[in-house]
Amino acid sequence: MKALLFFADWRGQMKKALTHRLGLALLTGLLVMPVCAKDGDWTMGVYAGQYHNQEPASFLAGRSEFKNHYILAVTASKRLWRAENWPLELELDAMLGQQWGQATLSEVAVAPVLRWSGLPGRDTLAVDVRAGPLGISYTNIISPLERGVNDQGSRTLNFLMLELTASAPKNPKSEWFARLHHRCTIYDLMNNYGANGEDFFALGWRRRF
């Protein structure tokens, strides 16, 4: 029995370590490769935000309260596909962030993201919508804001991000954005500890290469 418990614990630790290392490797590649890119498919940026206590839908409805917990992150993305007849693109987005306030912890996350560029008024201000509902996020410790009633939580959770971006037509390579950064269990599919996850409202800037 002890051997089985040891094996189960070892397998869990190896899974977490592998997830962390794969995420860091992918993010490192996303951060380094734009230096050599020349076609505008890559972006690099930074964002900062504050924790709020509700899911993205409730935040958009104005039902959130902010707490003294913050995030500062670097982000990078790669365009993977562009539709021929629609203003739609598929990107791979990654982030590496540091959180502080209620606790100090690091986070790495990766998600495929759809970008919609079909909003009117692009001659005055180019506004895009970006959405990545399914990704993966890993933190080096379990945040106290993500612990359930039994004080349990998960380092690895789903990563969801929603973004509204804006750039000037004369300078399309420089982009400002507002992001909803969300970690969750996908309605208890990843664990049933009863914790919501973490949510941040963030503002940031990125540059296209």
DSSP string, the chain: -HHHHHHHHHHHHHHHHHHHHHHHHHHHHHHHGGGT--SS-EEEEEEEEEEESS-HHHHHTT---EEEEEEEEEEEEEEEEE-SSSSEEEEEEEEEEEEESS--EEEEEEEEEEEE---S-TTT-EEEEEEE-S-EEEESS--GGG--TTS---SEEEEEEEEEEEE-TT-TTEEEEEEEEEEE-TTTTS--S-----EEEEEEEEEE-
Give the count of domains, the chain: 1
Q: How large a percentage of the chain has pLDDT more than 70?
A: 81
Residue 31 has pLDDT above 90, yes or no: no
pTM for this predicted structure: 0.81
- pLDDT tens digits, residue range 155-188? 999 999 999 999 999 999 999 999 999 999 998 8
Q: Indicate the pLDDT class of residue 57, thresholds 50, 70 and 90.
A: confident
163 or 22: whose pLDDT is higher?
163
- pLDDT tens digits, residue range 110-145? 999 999 999 999 999 999 999 999 999 999 999 999
Tell me how far apart the alpha carbons of residues 138 and 93 are, in angstroms, rounded to a whole number: 15
What domain range includes position 44?
2-208
Residue 88 has pLDDT above 70, yes or no: yes
Sign of the torsion angle spanned by Cα atoms 48, 29, 135, 209: positive
The stretch 49-70 carries a mean pLDDT of 90
Distances in whole angstroms, Cα of residue 41 to Cα of each of 38, 164, 177: 8, 19, 17
101, two tokens = 């306030």
100 or 9: whose pLDDT is higher?
100
Which CATH number does the domain housing residue 129 bear? 2.40.160.20
208 or 58: whose pLDDT is higher?
208
The stretch 71-100 carries a mean pLDDT of 97
pLDDT of residue 26: 55
pLDDT of residue 203: 98
| 181 DSSP β-pair partners | 161, 200
Tokens 């759809």 belong to 114
Sign of the torsion angle spanned by Cα atoms 99, 177, 84, 35: negative
Q: Mean pLDDT over all residues of the chain?
A: 86
